[in-house]
Amino acid sequence: MPIRALIFDFDGLILDTESTEYQSWQELFTTHGCQLSLDRWIDCIGRPRGYFDFYAHLEEMKGVVIDREQIRTERHARVRELNLLQPIQPGLVDYLHDARRLGLKIGLASSSSRVWVHDHLERLALYHYFAATKCVEDTGTHKPDPAPYLAVLDALSVPADEAVAFEDSPNGIASAKAAGTLCVAVPNPMTQHLQLQHADYRLDSFASLSLSDLLIQLTGATLPE
């Protein structure tokens, strides 16, 4: 079957917001004389916000109640500061440009909020590439549930076996595969050591292989006519 669409995750794939989130939490825990383990953070990657209560975890480690609202405000400000310094992942813009040149439809499937995703895409001048973006408000579910990908496939009017998904985490890969798409893993520094073997292909980065060559690897050069 020809490939007619590409569907991208957002957090950790287009912009490495996972590293900045971890850095902000790590700084917070260190300020309070505690240590947030990388293993604890990695278990939360790709899961919905609120999956694990880091404020409660800090309180448990300190043995005292903290001022959550003040800390939340300060940490969110720090995350915004760090995210503004993050570049778009290497090679990502070339993939979007080449997908458009090849006539492929482009979608985005995220478990994050619409405001979070759209604001970043607009700030990075990427929003115009996407014919469909589906976020948590659109499905009410989170990855690894396939609903985010199924919603994008429906919006693009493309069968699952004619789409390729790009993900950076095991939960994202599970979501894409459950929806029936091919899936390419493109890990970031936080996810490169995770179990990503269920993806159909793995790239070190978007810059490591052109989109055309990737499609050759995946499908034997079946490109849109």
Structure tokens at 204: 């070190």
Distance CA(92)–CA(74), nearest Å, equals 31
Q: Using the 8-state DSSP alphabet, how is residue 201 labeled?
A: E
User: How many alpha carbons fall within 13 Å on the CB side of residue 103?
Assistant: 7
Using the structure block, give the residue that is written with the tokens 């979501």: 175
For residues 189 and 73, the answer to whether their CB atoms sit within 8 Å is no
The helix-helix angle for 170-179 and 147-156 (nearest 10°) equals: 50
Nearest to 171 by CA among 155, 161, 162, 183: 183
The reply to whether 9 belongs to the active site is yes
Q: Residues for the chain: how many in total?
A: 225
The reply to whether 53 belongs to the active site is no
Q: Give me the catalytic one of 11, 16, 145, 168.
A: 11
Q: Give me the catalytic one of 9, 16, 145, 168.
A: 9
Name, in order, each residue with C-beta under 8 angstroms of 180's C-beta and a sequence gap of 6 or more.
146, 160, 161
Q: Which residues are known to be catalytic? A: 9, 11
